[in-house]
Amino acid sequence: MKSRSLFGWGLFALVVALAEPVAAQADPGAEPAVDAKVAADTGRYAYERGNYRIAAQELGTAYRTKRLPTMGLWYARALEKLDQLADAAEIYQALLAYELSALPAEKQAVQKAAQDAARPELAALLPRVPTLVIELAGSPAAGDAPVEVTLDGLAVPADSWPALRVNPGPHALTARRGAESFEVEAKLGGATTDGKSLSVKPGERWTITLTAPAVEPVPEPVPEPVPEPVPDVASSRDSHRRPQRLAAYGAFAVSAAGVVTYVVSRAVGNAKWQYLDDHYACTESGARECEVGDSDAFAAYKRARAANITGFVVGLVGAGAGVTLLLMEPKRERGGVAARLGCGTFELEGRF
């Protein structure tokens, strides 16, 4: 019996040794080629000898190289022996979904037999696979970022929350939304524990509840009392003084226009009169001869004289009105300090 066991392990070592030249002949710069059949035979031999860890390693290599149902069947069996039940169920389902029509007709029968053998094994396995049911307490508000759940450091898609299959053993589950860490509560029957670190056994169905951290209410700001406005007496006076001062400035502007009109019209009038005097020897008493001699020049002279008188009157009246308005303007009270000294008293009064 002992010699037969030694022969078996010797044959196993021979198969592994024969597989090495295949990798040695490959391009040194490329990954070593994998002989799926050699890996499958090695893995199955290890499985039959009870070395399930080596079996899973070799059969997994074979299955990832050629995803055939025959290789997947033994790979799933090895995983199941190692209590990796969720991984085994996933391989069973994958090999059952394999389309046999992609194979030549002569190879379909062997692969179909592997699928037929996998169906009852998967049915017997599924009740033993632990399941986590992940629930989010409350409803997320509009605009909230999605909750990110990780199991043993790997992201868990939201569509797998209702029934997440896991392998038996210890697991760590975390949930975050941005910088917020959620509370994770795990329930099994009536028992409750921290879901961030839980130990799962075959066939168990845990309910995981994710609760957002409590947000402390932000106190409403207390409005500061608004001080009552202090009447600005100076501004009130200024508001009365401003229109009167503007009116005074307007009167001075009209006066300036009158002065300009006076100066210009006087110069024009003098020029016209000089022209008439040079040609017609005009005098004030003999203005009739000048008008008859050159009526247009005489009319221009009379217009300039009228404008001269008007400008003088307007300038004089505007200046008088402006000065009057400025003199009647309310006076601004000037600041000062007054001290009063009485019998045993001293008073200090200020105006600013």
3-state secondary structure 316-349: HHHHHHHHHHHHCCCCCCCCEEEEEEECCEEEEE
Task: Quickly tell me which residue has 């399941």 as its tokens.
Answer: 131
Residue 173 parent element (H or E): strand 173-177
Residues 13 and 109 in one domain: yes
Among 211, 242, 261, the domain-final residue is 211
| Tokens 């391989």, located at residue | 91
How many CB atoms are closer than 10 A to CB 196? Answer: 17
Average confidence (pLDDT) per 10 residues, the chain, 352 residues: 49 46 40 74 93 95 92 94 95 94 91 95 95 84 79 90 91 86 82 82 90 68 74 55 71 76 76 68 57 66 77 75 70 55 55 53
Q: Does residue 274 share a domain with residue 195?
A: no
Sign of CA dihedral 70, 76, 78, 81: negative
Decide if 161 is inside a domain. yes
Q: Which of 177, 211, 245 is the last residue of a domain?
A: 211
Same domain assignment for residues 73 and 37:
yes
Return the pLDDT at 324.
78
- Residue at 347 is within a domain: no
Same domain, 155 and 108: no
pLDDT of amino acid 347: 58
CB 318 within 8 A of CB 258: yes
User: Which residue range forms the structural domain that includes residue 164?
Assistant: 131-139+146-211
Do 114 and 164 belong to one domain?
no
331/237 same-domain check:
yes
Question: Quick one: 101 and 179 in the same domain?
Answer: no
Q: Give the per-residue pLDDT at 137.
A: 83
161 and 195 together in one domain: yes
- pTM here is 0.53
219 assigned to some structural domain: no
Q: Which CATH number belongs to the domain containing residue 75 in this structure?
A: 1.25.40.10
The pair of three-digit structure tokens given for residue 178, joined into one six-digit string: 């941005």
Co-location of 15 and 116 in the same domain: yes
Q: How many domains does the chain divide into? A: 3
pLDDT score, position 118: 95
Question: What is the pLDDT at residue 18?
Answer: 45
What is the helix (H) or strand (E) element at residue 206, kind and residue range?
strand 205-211
Contact, 35 vs 58, CB < 8 A? no
Do 175 and 73 belong together in one domain? no
In a domain? residue 349 = no
Q: What CA–CA distance (Å, rounded) separates 75 from 114?
A: 12
User: 178: domain CATH number?
Assistant: 2.60.40
Co-location of 93 and 179 in the same domain: no
In a domain, 221, yes or no: no
Q: How far apart are CA 270 and CA 194, in angstroms?
A: 114
In a domain, 218, yes or no: no
- Kindly give the residue spans of alpha helices, DSSP state H, lying in the chain: 2-24, 36-48, 52-65, 69-81, 85-96, 105-125, 233-280, 287-293, 295-327
Q: Is residue 223 domain-resident?
A: no
Same structural domain, 8 and 123: yes
Is 18 within a domain? yes
Point out the domain boundary residue: 59, 94, 127: 127
What pLDDT, on the 0 to 100 scale, is given for residue 133? 92
- Please give the pLDDT value at position 27: 42
Q: Which of 12, 36, 32 is nearest to 22 (CA)?
A: 32
